[in-house]
Amino acid sequence: MASFIYDSFKEYMADGTVDLDGDTFKIVLLDGTHTPATSHTQFSNMSGDEVADGNGYTAGGQTLTNVTWSRSDGTVAFDAADPVWSNATFDSAYAVIYDDTTANDVLVCLIDFGGTKSVSNGTFTVHFHADGIFTLS
């Protein structure tokens, strides 16, 4: 589950700035120097903390696939296929999902890995929670 949803995303979701069904969402990995804050609004607020380009990682992150919104008994879940980086060598402490379609790349949510995770010439996977990336109820 996401550690938190950015404050601005809540507003943009309500006012239609973000099209939950039609926009393209991406996930980026951030290093341990990042200081999470719900007040961040756009990708440029944290791009300096992104994992270095190369070694299995591409700057700007990767597009989420199989994005779904589902509803069950008053709870709505946002989910996608688990993103995978192959032949990777890097360290990451956080993942951030952002809306790549909107102006300024609006931030959606942050996932805190609970410490720096390392991969060396292997596969790095962000495993989303079985209930989804986040839920709203």
Q: What percent of the chain has pLDDT over 90?
A: 82
Number of domains in the chain: 1
pLDDT band, very low/low/confident/very high, at 57 (cuts 50, 70, 90): very high
| Residue 3 backbone phi and psi in degrees, to 5 | -70, -35
The reported pLDDT for the residue numbered 1 is 85
Residue 53 has pLDDT above 90, yes or no: no
pLDDT at 47: 85
Q: What local confidence, expressed as pLDDT, does residue 127 receive?
A: 97
How does pLDDT run across 105-132, given as a tens digit for each residue?
A: 999 999 999 999 999 999 999 999 999 9
What's the CA gap between 124 and 104, in Å, rounded?
27
* pLDDT recorded at residue 28: 97
Distance, in Å, from the CA atom of 107 to the CA atom of 104, rounded to the nearest integer, reads 9
- Containing domain of residue 102, as a range? 4-136
Confidence band for 21, pLDDT divided at 50, 70 and 90 = confident
DSSP string, 73-113: TTEEEEE-PPPEEEEEEEEEEEEEEEESSSTT-BEEEEEEE
- pTM, two decimals, is 0.95
Residue 32 has pLDDT above 90, yes or no: yes
Mean pLDDT of the region 87-99: 97
Residue 54: predicted pLDDT: 86
What are the Cα distances from residue 33, in Å, to 29, 122, 134?
A: 12, 23, 24
